[in-house]
Structure 1
């Protein structure tokens, strides 16, 4: 038997491939099937089963593609209410894959239809548990994503109570040395206090995870509900998509139109410029929003937080390779069908962005309206500027009208990435100069 964690750093998403006697099971696979096909080829095995812990809110799953193209069975809790053929797995149901067994554990709390899967090795010993978004390393999955999405809609307080029961009646009963393999790590918006470690053990979590330390149910619920981050626009949409299942990635990508630098973009359609901040500021299409798409950028999260799931948009970049990369990353949250066209940046009629006069800003901050686009939870830890106004980036397009137009505007975040998007949004909304403080924000912390 071999267990391989396949980790997508941009989405902080962990999925798993488990091989036994030539048969392979996947747990919570991402949209791109290739890493799992590569694993199967390397082990001369066949992917026969997909175990879905729940309909995820933050990424699109490839479970239906594996069923339709490769004949794999999909196992999921029947409470999910899926639109595809599946094999139901309820609490304590067992499925044999090769010489190992997967035992379903009903673990609601993050969602009301959540399964975890306990892996029993060839000797029947508890080896590992794939916890999805229920138990993380150092945290538990947030309870507020299913109040308005999914087959079953439950209040976050009810879900918080379910999570308390899950921790104390299910996970606490497992052997101490069982390895915990979660669906997310630090940086995911599905929790609030995750460790940088990508796996753990039940024993370690019982000792170190805050959620196990609160023994009184009401205290646990109060602490659990407090301080959760914002919910990106695409999260409820993603839950519904994953309940239905998506077409294969390759087939969907073929439908994205590619445009040349001389093609005219339709007026009124959102334009997302995926280039570096410096290139964007040197010259961009008037009105374009800058969401940089480098390898370590959280492009998917911010695309799905700024752009609604019903909105069409153009992607623009310098090269075909740059556009291909952005299109594929958009597809990881099933936004490729929203792309009206992927276009090379035109050579003329571009708008440049005026750099901020840092010396003047440092000496005369009261001459500017300062907009802090960090999340509310970040601002609770302290402001960088006493007079700043907090409007989180995901709300900026809708709330730009709250900003007074009597002074130039300076936009900042925590490190410079989000302020590129924020300043580009306000530049098209306001009739005053808008400056991006960018990485210079570090001088003011």
Structure 2
């Protein structure tokens, strides 16, 4: 049986988990919520999962460590200072763990969080082979130092200083040929400049990663703390679940995979606080949907947008999905701590239509039609991209109304005034349009194809120009 190190990368969360195996013993690093893929992999290879290593208390997803340990008997290992309400082994700095011929050494690397640790993998010859860096070191970036800030104790500058020391004392002295396996890739909110590559050599990172260049400690602190956007609202809540434990994934799946007839589905939202979440693609949703539903498509960054926009993790959720996607939707909700889906529409939206139930729809127009509207007179345009996208280039006269912060500004628009919404490609604008529709805005028009399509027209565009200091 060959030794194996395999990255298990999940694109919608830009997250890397890892399977390590030697001589029939296996370890999992930073597993996602669902346990079945890891257990199946070990069983198929005739291996036993001995350890579940956690690089830190994750904020952007709920780890599967608690369930995985219960199902396999594996020991959960955190780095120094970690405190949980369930059984774990809190390792000391430089403590070693054996997996067959492999040795995994815990390197305490605080900075992203206080317990953050990097796991150094050595072969039978004792030579360093790889580091699993979690959110301490990414490809092209380092972890943001603001998530573990406590008002009266640490500042982001304090944590950035710790991160500098961790990198320079624990990671940079390692050989250049050591492979870096990070916790995230491009698209994660845990960094600001993460590369699309998901692995690299340490030597190449020393040459190309801005944070590993010849910077003084003060310069490093300024660079890594500059331009950090506020974290999504669910981050702190997910971190708490990872510290305190959570409902078993099997129970969440059983509850969520409750098939409801159109009649039963129609009655369920009468209970207080129930949210109808339609996970179909935007171009399907706008043609027809259950009144009051919001659209967050499984085809995009589903979990991240759910976490950013649905404020209460305990919200009862009714699902409308493409047939056969129900389990995927429930699983991806659970990855970010939304453990209260209460059922799905059996037969999908088609069954709702066939039952003669009330159907709502959203008007969508192509970018060319928006161009014609603008020629006829003044048009109110809402650009729901993030501020940096908007500043780089936007329609002249458009108002930036970022989707990330839409819940904070829902009452700022005139419900009687028509608005035309767009994002970059159409995914975010349909989310925004559905949320506004649910809040009573009925004069909202979605621009299909988003800014990508708008740039192909003759619509006047502009960009923010930084004022000259001369």
| Length-normalised TM-score, structure 1 | 0.93
Distance 1:44 1:357, change over 3 A: closer
Corresponding residue SS for 2:192: coil
Corresponding residue SS for 1:400: coil
Residue 266 of structure 1 deviates from its aligned partner by 2.0
Q: How far does the alpha carbon of each residue in 1:385-420 deviate from its partner, in whole angstroms, 9 at most, with x for none?
A: 132222221211221212244631111111211111
Identify unmatched segments of 5+ residues in structure 2: 456-470
Residue 275 of structure 1 deviates from its aligned partner by 1.4
Q: More displaced, 387-396 or 235-244?
A: 387-396
Residue 230 of structure 1 deviates from its aligned partner by 4.3
Aligned pair 1:270/2:275, yes or no? yes
Query: Residue 259 of structure 2 aligns with which residue?
Result: 258
2:370, 2:93 → 1: CA distance? Answer: 60
Distance 1:148 1:364, change over 3 A: farther
2:363, 2:423 → 1: CA distance? Answer: 18
Aligned pair 1:383/2:388, yes or no? no
1:222, 1:124 → 2: CA distance? Answer: 37
Corresponding residue SS for 2:136: coil
Aligned pair 1:196/2:196, yes or no? yes
1:426, 1:52 → 2: CA distance? Answer: 39
Query: Residue 360 of structure 2 aligns with which residue?
Result: 351
Residue 233 of structure 1 deviates from its aligned partner by 2.1
Distance 1:432 1:65, change over 3 A: closer
Query: Residue 397 of structure 1 aligns with which residue?
Result: 407
Q: In 1, are the aligned partners of 2:296 and 2:305 still within 8 Å (CA)?
A: yes
Q: More displaced, 102-111 or 267-276?
A: 267-276
Distance 1:124 1:114, change over 3 A: same
Residue 30 of structure 1 deviates from its aligned partner by 1.0
Corresponding residue SS for 1:402: coil
1:284, 1:117 → 2: CA distance? Answer: 47
2:405, 2:450 → 1: CA distance? Answer: 23
Distance 1:258 1:158, change over 3 A: farther
Corresponding residue SS for 1:321: coil
1:405-444 matches, cutoff 5 A: 405=415, 407-444=417-454
RMSD: 2.1
1:65-76 matches, cutoff 5 A: 65-76=67-78
1:323, 1:244 → 2: CA distance? Answer: 28
Residue 224 of structure 1 deviates from its aligned partner by 0.8
Q: In 2, are the aligned partners of 1:323 and 1:343 still within 8 Å (CA)?
A: no
2:282, 2:442 → 1: CA distance? Answer: 20
Distance 1:433 1:254, change over 3 A: same
Aligned pair 1:23/2:32, yes or no? no
Q: In 2, are the aligned partners of 1:112 and 1:154 still within 8 Å (CA)?
A: no
1:108-257 matches, cutoff 5 A: 108-147=110-149, 154-256=154-256, 257=258
Residue 156 of structure 1 deviates from its aligned partner by 1.5
Corresponding residue SS for 1:435: strand
Aligned pair 1:287/2:288, yes or no? no
Identify unmatched segments of 5+ residues in structure 1: none
Q: In 2, are the aligned partners of 1:60 and 1:333 still within 8 Å (CA)?
A: yes
Residue 78 of structure 1 deviates from its aligned partner by 4.0
Q: How far does the alpha carbon of each residue in 1:338-380 deviate from its partner, in whole angstroms, 9 at most, with x for none?
A: 2233234422211122223755531443633221212223334
Query: Residue 84 of structure 2 aligns with which residue?
Result: 82
1:197, 1:78 → 2: CA distance? Answer: 29
2:210, 2:190 → 1: CA distance? Answer: 16
1:423, 1:128 → 2: CA distance? Answer: 46
Aligned pair 1:94/2:90, yes or no? no
Aligned pair 1:371/2:363, yes or no? no
1:187, 1:310 → 2: CA distance? Answer: 22
Residue 440 of structure 1 deviates from its aligned partner by 4.2
1:411, 1:134 → 2: CA distance? Answer: 38
Q: In 2, are the aligned partners of 1:146 and 1:153 still within 8 Å (CA)?
A: no
Q: In 2, are the aligned partners of 1:407 and 1:432 still within 8 Å (CA)?
A: no
Q: How many residues align?
A: 439
Q: In 1, are the aligned partners of 2:178 and 2:202 still within 8 Å (CA)?
A: yes
Corresponding residue SS for 2:105: strand
Q: More displaced, 434-443 or 365-374?
A: 365-374
| Length-normalised TM-score, structure 2 | 0.88
1:82, 1:179 → 2: CA distance? Answer: 30
Query: Residue 4 of structure 1 aligns with which residue?
Result: 6
Corresponding residue SS for 1:254: helix
Q: How far does the alpha carbon of each residue in 1:243-279 deviate from its partner, in whole angstroms, 9 at most, with x for none?
A: 1233432232112243221111324532211112232
Q: In 2, are the aligned partners of 1:15 and 1:29 still within 8 Å (CA)?
A: yes
Match of 1:324 among 324, 327, 330: 327
